[in-house]
């Protein structure tokens, strides 16, 4: 790839499948998913990393796909809501969101769920958060205030937060 080229051909793994893409360098990961791969589960709520609706997992970590250039994901692995679970085989967090009514309009929901998957993994690794009283401590107790803080990068205008908390509590160890 040369600097004179304004578009790029590259391969990225999406939901376990290698995808060969030829995209304008300006295309974000979010637009690549939605407009080029017809994976519309990742949502565009703000396009500036200010709402979290576009959250997907990049090499297993939750990120705002609206701020990631698709071209920069070459060789990496993306998991979207479509790759987490399906109607026939729901991910436990998807099931928990249903059981606890952790959604209303549904637009922030895929991002919330991807974010929850990432957040639980982060807690499992012992990563602290702004709600952690002692950042030096090795283990994290994922109490309500920890979950709320860790999920605060996903705005929900319908106000499903109480139920989202309950859903995550139901699946967190």
Partner 1 sequence: MREFGYQQVSDVETAVATLATSADARYLGGGTNLVDLMKLGVETPELLIDVTTLPLTDISETADGGVLIGAAVRNSDLAANPVIRQRYPAVAQAVLAGASGQLRNLATTGGNLMQRTRCSYFTDVTKPCNKRAPGSGCPARDGEHHNLAILGASEHCIATSPSDLAVALVALDAVVHVREGDSARAVPLTEFRRLPGDRPDLETTVEPGALITGVSLPGLPIAAASRYRKVRERASYAFAIGSIAAAVEVSGGLVTDCRIAWGAVAAVPWRATRAEAMLRGKPVAIESFAAAADAELTAAEPLEGNAYKVALIRNVTVELLAELTGASR
Partner 2 sequence: MTSTLDPATTRTPLMGQGINRLDAIAKVTGEARYSGEYPLDGMIYGWVVQAPIAKGRIRDISPASTLSMPGVLAVLDYRNAPRLSDAGDSELLLLQGDRVYYRGEAVAVVLAQSLEQARAGADALDVSYLAESHDVLLRADHPDMYTPELVNPNFPSASNVGDVDAALAAAEVVIDRVYATPAEHNNPMEPHATTAHWNGDTLLVFDSNQGASSVQMSLCRLFDLPRSAVQVKSEYVGGGFGAKGSARPPVVLASMAARLLGRPVRVTLTRQQMFAMVGYRTPTIQQVRLGSDWSGRLQALDHLAYSQTSKILEFAEQTAVVSRMMYATPNLRTAHRLLPLDVPTPRWMRAPGEAPGSFALESAMDELAQACNVDPIELRIRNEPDLEPDSGRPFSSRNLVACLREGARRFGWDDRDPRPAIRQDGRWRIGSGMASSTYPARNAPSTCQVQARSDGTFEVRITASDIGTGARTALTQIAADALRVELDRVELRIGDSDFGPAMIAGGSMGTASWSWAVVKACRDLLGQLDMHSGAVPAGGLLARADTKDDVAAQADVTRHAFGAQFLEVAVDIRTGEVRVPRMIGVFAAGHIVNARTARSQLIGGMIMGLGMALLEESLMDLRFGDYLNHDLAGYHVASNADVRSIEVSWIDEQDDQTNPSGIKGIGEIGIVGTAAAIANAVWHATGRRQRTLPIRPDRVIS
> Which region among 57-65, 97-105, 120-128, 135-143 touches partner 2 (by CB under 8 A)?
97-105
Instruction: Give the Cα separation of 155 and 147 in Å (integer).
Output: 14
Coil, strand or helix: which one is 84? helix
Count each helix (H run) and each strand (E run) in the chain, helices first.
6, 5
Element (H, E) at 42: none
Q: Which of 81, 123, 140, 171 binds partner 2 (CB under 8 A)?
A: 81
Nearer to partner 2, 35 or 124 (CB): 35
Please tell me whether residue 148 binds partner 2 under the rule CB under 8 A: yes
Q: Measured from the CB of residue 94, what is the shortest distance to partner 2 in angstroms?
A: 4
Contact 55, 155 (CB under 8 A): no
Q: Which of 20, 87, 133, 135 binds partner 2 (CB under 8 A)?
A: 87
Q: Residue 135: which of partner 1, partner 2, none does it interact with, CB under 5 to 8 A by kind?
A: partner 1
Please tell me whether residue 9 binds partner 2 under the rule CB under 8 A: no
Please tell me whether residue 44 binds partner 2 under the rule CB under 8 A: yes
The torsion region of residue 99 among left (phi > 0), alpha (psi -120 to 50) and beta comes to alpha
Nearer to partner 2, 16 or 138 (CB): 16
In DSSP notation, 132-152 reads -S-TT-SS----HHHHHHHTT
Q: Binding residues for partner 1, per CB under 8 A?
A: 1-6, 8, 24-26, 28, 47-49, 52, 55, 58, 61-64, 67-69, 71-72, 115, 118-119, 122, 125-130, 132, 135-136, 138, 148-150, 152-155
Please tell me whether residue 62 binds partner 2 under the rule CB under 8 A: no
Pairing of the two strands 55-58 and 7-14: unpaired
Compute the radius of gyration of the chain from its Cα atoms.
Answer: 17
């Amino acid at each position: 790839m040369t600097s004179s080229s304004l578009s790029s051909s590259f391969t990225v793994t999406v939901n376990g499948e290698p995808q060969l893409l030829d995209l304008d360098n300006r295309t974000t990961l979010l637009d690549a998913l939605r407009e080029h791969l017809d994976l519309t589960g990742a949502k565009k709520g703000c396009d500036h990393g200010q709402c979290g609706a576009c959250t997907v997992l990049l090499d297993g970590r939750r990120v705002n796909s609206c701020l990631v250039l698709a071209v920069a994901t070459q060789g990496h692995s993306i998991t979207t809501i479509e790759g987490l679970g399906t109607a026939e085989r729901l991910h436990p967090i998807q099931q928990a969101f249903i059981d606890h009514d952790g959604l209303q309009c549904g637009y922030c929901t895929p991002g919330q769920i991807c974010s929850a998957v990432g957040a639980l993994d982060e807690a499992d690794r012992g990563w602290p958060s702004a709600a952690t009283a002692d950042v030096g401590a090795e283990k994290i107790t994922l109490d309500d205030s920890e979950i709320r803080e860790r999920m605060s990068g996903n705005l929900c205008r319908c106000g499903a937060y109480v139920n989202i908390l309950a859903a995550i509590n139901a699946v967190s160890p």
